Amino acid sequence: MSLPLEGLSAIVTGAGRGLGRAEALELARLGAAVVVNDYGRPGRDGSGEASAGPAEGVVAEIRAAGGRAVAHLGDVADFETARGLVDLAVSEFGKLDVLVNNAGILRDRMVFSMSEEEWDSVIRVHLKGHFNTTHFAAVHWRGRAKAGESGVYGRIVNTSSEAFLAGSAGQPNYAAAKGGIVGLTTSTALALAKYGVTANAICPRARTRMTQDVFAGFAEPASETELDPLSPEHVAPLVGYLASPAARGVNGQLLVVHGGMVAIVDRPRVSAKFDTAKEAFTYEELDGLLTPHYASLPPGETFAAAEVLALKRG
């Protein structure tokens, strides 16, 4: 019996640790050959010396289990490095079929304290990094389709966050980048559908090096044999599914995933509508319509996703 991803090749960025590692291992378990990308810097803020160790360690795990994998050390926020990453997948495995964008850093600060560099660095790694790899993967798939290849197969899985859905007071850069990734995903889904490519985004909750303080105090496993409710291993199967032929009808979607739960997030919907009684609104008319409307809402409903505020941030 063949595996769901047998014969396919995949790139996973930021795959040396945490979520990316779990996703790379899952794709390999499902039969994919994997390019394991990781810059290897030890600090969750992107600081420290780059190292091939994390990526090569995951490659060794995949090979030990009988899979195929190759390491790529590089910063995907660099345009030419992203080109080289896609080129590596094609040269090693003949083509690229799956792109999982996961690489990211944190530079947490309140908006009134954040420096320009703290803003730029997070937007660069998360949002530009997602764009760079998506761009070169899209060029690859479109080129094959334009050359007359039938049945081009492409899957993109991007990593957003509930910080974008609910806001995160100490992470304006991160929340903005993750919101941008959703916009990039839906635009890409529309642009590439005709070539046989889908693009979806996930909002994972997982206890990793980047989120260790976020989930401090949250439920932990009762024993060493019990799976952590916030383990990355709860997220990886959804990535495997979205990368598979079974998900051909899933495109432009946003899914929240953690601890044995997957939630499909609706696109924003109109909750109320007001029309002017005259040719154009005036301040007075808007005040008479909108002020009472918002005053009538229950506490907390003026924010879009109160339930998601379980992601506590100082």
pLDDT, tens only, 185-232:
999 999 999 999 999 999 998 665 555 555 545 566 656 666 667 778
- 290, two tokens: 């909108």
- Asked if pLDDT for residue 128 goes beyond 60, the answer is yes
Q: Are 102 and 20 within 8 A, CB to CB?
A: yes
Instruction: State which H helix or E strand residue 56 sits in.
Output: helix 53-64
Active-site annotation holds for 194: no
Strand partners, 10: 34, 98
Q: Which residue of the set 39, 153, 174, 244 is catalytic?
A: 174
Q: Are 22 and 227 within 8 A, CB to CB?
A: no
Q: Which residue of the set 9, 160, 161, 168 is catalytic?
A: 161
Strand partners, 258: 261
**What CA–CA distance (Å, rounded) separates 7 from 94?**
10
In angstroms, what CA-CA distances link 260 with 78, 86, 225, 229, 237?
35, 32, 17, 8, 10
pTM of the entire predicted model = 0.89
Query: Can you give the pLDDT at residue 185?
Result: 98
Q: Which residue of the set 9, 153, 178, 244 is catalytic?
A: 178
Single-letter amino acid code for the residue at 134: T
- Enumerate residues 6+ apart whose C-beta is below 8 A from 15: 21, 23, 24, 34, 36, 37, 38, 55, 58, 100, 102
Active-site annotation holds for 161: yes
Per the document, the length of the chain is 314
Active-site annotation holds for 174: yes
Query: Can you give the pLDDT at residue 311?
Result: 37
